[in-house]
Amino acid sequence: MNKVTSAEVAARAGVSQSAVSRVFTPGASASAKTVKKVKQAAKELGYRPNSLARAMVSGKSRIIGLVVAYLENQFYPVALERLSNALQAKGYHLLVFTAPNSTEGVDKVVEDLMGYQVDGIIAASVSLSSDLAERAQAAEIPVVLFNRAQKGAGLSNVTSANRNGARRATEFLIEGGHNRIAHIAGWQGASTGRDRQAGFTEAMDAAGLAPFAMVDGMYSRPVAMECARQIASGSQIPDAIFVGNDHMAFGVIDALRGLGLIPGQDISVVGYDDVPLAAWEAYDLTTFRQPVNRMVEATIDILMHQIDSAEPHAETIEIEGKLILRGSARIPQGWTT
């Protein structure tokens, strides 16, 4: 059978072909009566609108590309779901590509996305080369970095206030009477890892304390587990560990238990993100919550503005989070979040 065309739907509904186009174009104007007639005719004929053809005519695909380096960190599936839902509410769809955690790998994926004529790109915890950022701008494809900041590239960035959050998490440990505090940091090639380590260092310096240990956990669960085993196996062990994200913190808790240590009693453990697994009884992780809903909202607002604006400009947004108290760390008396 030949595919049903919009002209056939228009004839069946008794409306113009442009009216059919408006009914199936998100955001376009059509009366309730026209919408009802067109959709009834489409159902009877088995018509499905051709999104690609519409994109060629309008110059808009209504597709947003998302590049993410890895999904094993539970923060990203949550963020991806909320980004997708928020975009669908605005008539857009998400095209997801995974990329190796290197500038060259990300650049290749973004080039592929640009070939799909996406209306915008969200780069989640990855960085772009300055050359590719300029090419995206020249092609009038807005790019927003989510959970990653990149200075000097002319790109918009949306993150939590990583430095302030890490400082507050460390102050919490200090006020709980801990003085042998280790930090298993996130990958130092990422702004989030560097900023959280900087916040930890600031709080320790202000208290006149030297870190018990400070190592790069690479945002990797196995690496973080090995780091925890090494720093908690000597004659003297830390009394607290601030971990650069929850994904690593779960591994740290498992490693400590493997050494016969009880998190929250022998060693306090604090993470960063507050992914759903953190609230499970198996981990009961004290952690600093990233405000993912507000981060998603800000990212979508910036992207929509840049898609619609003749002269878009780069924005840098940091959103404050909140310390979530659970059983993996000793709570100072009178402490409030």
pLDDT of residue 103: 74
Segment 4-55, tens digit of pLDDT: 888 898 999 999 988 888 888 766 788 999 999 999 998 888 888 766 556 5
Taken in order of first residue, the domains within the chain and their CATH numbers are 6-49 (no CATH), 61-160+291-321 (3.40.50.2300), 162-290 (3.40.50.2300)
DSSP-derived secondary structure for 212-260: SEEEE-TT-HHHHHHHHHHHTSSSS--SEEEESSHHHHHHHHHHHHHTT
Q: Which of 51-60, 80-89, 110-119, 259-268 has the lowest mean pLDDT?
A: 51-60
- Residue 268 φ then ψ, to 5°: -80, 140
Global pTM?
A: 0.85
